[in-house]
Structure 1
């Protein structure tokens, strides 16, 4: 169970990264990211993306994303 959870977390995080790489240098509001990621994850896996907020927050904390304002993020390659 734990191993499968880690794999899903990794796939979910990769999906968030994919979204921001497709939309560089643009201030993006949180709901736009969540809507795309949840729909794409469901389409690709048939499962529900449980907590996209966590993946976005972790990427901002690690420095991959720039937090512009509350709920607004930017990827600057």
Structure 2
């Protein structure tokens, strides 16, 4: 092997390492974001989505339903 081939192989290897490093960083960031997304937000008892804004607590007798703003009208109609 001559020096040119060694240098070429070195840079190819460095390129692969850089690409894999960036991929691993993205995967780690995606994993971190997925943990943050489910961070202590209540879920709507009607649609099951995480509520990240205001919510309503509806007395359902023995329990209290937590309802998101999108489902509150539907909940009120059913309770009548």
Same structural fold, with TM-score higher than 0.5 when normalized by the shorter chain? no
Say which structure, 1 or 2, has more relative contact order (CA 8 Å, 6+ apart): 1
Length-normalised TM-score, structure 2 = 0.30
In terms of fraction of residues, the more helix-rich structure is: 1
